[in-house]
Amino acid sequence: MRALLTGGNGMLGGSIAQAWRLTRPADELEVITRAAVDLRDRSATRELVARIQPDIVLHAAARVGGIMAKLAHPTEYLLDNLLIDTSVIGAAIEAGVPKLLYIGSAAMYPEHYRQPFVEGDVLAAPLESANEGYAIAKIAATKLCEYASREHGFHYRVAVPSNLYGPGDDYSLSAGHLVAAAIAKIHAAHVAGDATVTIWGDGTARREFSYAPDLAAWLVSQADRLEQWPALVNLGVGTDQSIAEYYELARTVVGYRGQFSYDTTKPAGMHQRILDSSVAASLGWAPPTTLLDGMTEAYARFLYSSAAHTPAIQTK
């Protein structure tokens, strides 16, 4: 099998590349990074896919970030993701690529709706305002996969993961997601000897996080089985924690002894987002890594990155 992977330098894309090479060494894997091709350029993307002629496209490239970044730059999150996704999926359609696995987002689900979300809840109610631009782009790409499968007989499927954390995460305080931001903030306070770490909101909002290498390994195992998937498949761990609980876990793995304060003037996003992953479970999804073990490994990788490369943490 010849596979084309986009987003190869990202957290999930990097884990997919590693898992693919480990478990499918006989396959050809072409890993595309931002430095190699600007996927917003439809002409360049079309030429790339036509040249490689993959049997499957694993589309993990996206412009991603935390709530601060999405609130500050909603236009860029909408435009960049629309351009990336229409370029890649459109090029795959034009080249006749029979299989495509698109990495969607739990942000596609409504803000005020039943929990946990099932796959049919996309477009059931209004979106969370902080994620709206990003979510609209992801929904458009999801529909494009659905239409391509129906119209052309392709097997274009959408994986909808919970929030992710793990090796290769963005630990910057301006763009990092919850787990990465908590680790970075608490590490900075620990090193500086600060007595307090400030948390946005009141700490009660709840989130579900999956360990990226677990998801990557399972997705790679499914490359030959996409025909068995429905159009969308939720992929979460089935439990969630409050923001305060994630910070407590980060405190444990870092060894920080200070206190937490809560800034309730800042947004914390929707109160809860948890996925019903029973469809994935019926397909064999059973993530093995506990949250504590995963966060411990994530912190170890963060320390290695900070020591061996440019500083991964921005405190101002």
Q: Please give the positions annotated as active site.
A: 134
User: Which structure tokens are listed for 36?
Assistant: 């190699």
- What angle in degrees, to the nearest 10, is found between the helix axes of 11-23 and 212-221? 50
Amino acid of residue 18:
Q
Tokens encoding 105: 């987002």
Residue 220's contacts (CB-CB under 8 Å, 6 or more residues apart) are: 16, 19, 20, 23, 24
Distance, in Å, from the CA atom of 190 to the CA atom of 254, rounded to the nearest integer, reads 8
Cα separation, 219 vs 210, in Å, equals: 13
CB atoms within 10 A of CB 101: 25
Furthest CA-CA distance within the chain: 60
For 229, residues 6+ apart whose C-beta sits below 8 A from its C-beta are 155, 157, 222, 283
Helix (H) or strand (E) holding 186: helix 178-192
74: helix, coil or strand?
A: helix
